[in-house]
Amino acid sequence: MGVLKGSISYAKFHVRGALPEDVHQRYMARIRARGFKPLTPEDEADAAVGWVPVERPFDDEISFRAEGVFFANYLNLALRIDRWKFPSSVVKAKMAAAERAYKQKNGKERISRAEKAELREAVEKKLRRDGEPTTKTADFTWNLDTGELRLFGKSTLVVEHFLELFEKTFQLRLLPAGPYVTGIAVELPKGLDRVLAEIEPTSFHHKAPRQKEEEG
């Protein structure tokens, strides 16, 4: 969340590259092509990643409206990540029970690696049928005029998936915001970009000297 409500903590990026002339039509087609598709217990993949509308991020029936994506000169979307993730203690307990039942049914004292792999697959499929995937969402808002983009999510998982999906969808590069990138974006005079690249951060906080402990 973040664009409409929730946390105002965000990661800032600059979008690099030229926009197509028919931005709305071209981008809506690309967004729909990479819209989120819910996980099912039968899926081989452990995760599903895709775009969802910012106002309806948890709907399984995804539909995009241009007026819900574009607002003035901004493009607003949300990234959704669903994953099958179960506590290791639960998986171990289920596996132990499945192995005991398998040995008893087949009159075995030991089972092979191949048999264990088949049992694990069966256990995980049952956990998926009985459970629900974990869900993460992160909104982003992109100023199409200035190229500034704010992603309302900072976890490594979210940022990595976002960068990959954004660049595949819009065929543009994303650079983390910083003094150098910002300076390049505003087109500094020739020569200053090289100077800016060599600037090091300076602390403006004055640290008071530690007071000596009183004697005695």
User: What are the pLDDT digits (tens) for 55-109?
Assistant: 999 987 888 999 999 999 999 999 999 999 888 899 899 989 999 998 889 888 8
Q: Please give the residue that has the higher pLDDT: either 179 or 111.
A: 111
State the DSSP H helix or E strand holding residue 113, giving kind and residue range, or none if neither: helix 113-130
Eight-class DSSP state of 35:
B
Q: Please give the residue that has the higher pLDDT: either 102 or 169.
A: 169
Residue 100 sits in the same domain as residue 144: no
* Dist CA 38 CA 201 (whole Å): 44
**Residue range 145-155: average pLDDT?**
94
Residue 73 sits in the same domain as residue 94: no
Question: How sure is the predictor about 151, in pLDDT bands with cuts at 50, 70 and 90?
Answer: very high
Residue 81 sits in the same domain as residue 116: no
Copy the structure tokens of residue 116. Answer: 């264990």
Determine the distance from the C-alpha atom of residue 52 to the mean position of all C-alpha atoms in its chain, rounded to a whole number. 12
Closest CA relative to residue 157, chosen from 75, 57, 46: 46
Task: Identify the burial level of 50 via C-beta atoms within 10 angstroms of its C-beta, where 0-12 means exposed, 13-18 middle and 19 or more buried.
Answer: buried
Residue 30 sits in the same domain as residue 69: yes
* Dist CA 52 CA 186 (whole Å): 31
* Dist CA 29 CA 51 (whole Å): 12
Residue 15 sits in the same domain as residue 122: no
Closest CA relative to residue 2, chosen from 155, 160, 140, 158: 140
Which pLDDT belongs to residue 216?
45
What domain range includes position 125? 88-130
Determine the distance from the C-alpha atom of residue 115 to the mean position of all C-alpha atoms in its chain, rounded to a whole number. 36
Question: How sure is the predictor about 139, in pLDDT bands with cuts at 50, 70 and 90?
Answer: very high
Q: 64 in a domain, yes or no?
A: yes
Residue 74 sits in the same domain as residue 145: yes
Residue 119 sits in the same domain as residue 143: no
Q: What percent of the chain has pLDDT over 90?
A: 52
Which pLDDT belongs to residue 195?
59
Which pLDDT belongs to residue 59?
85
* Dist CA 78 CA 53 (whole Å): 6
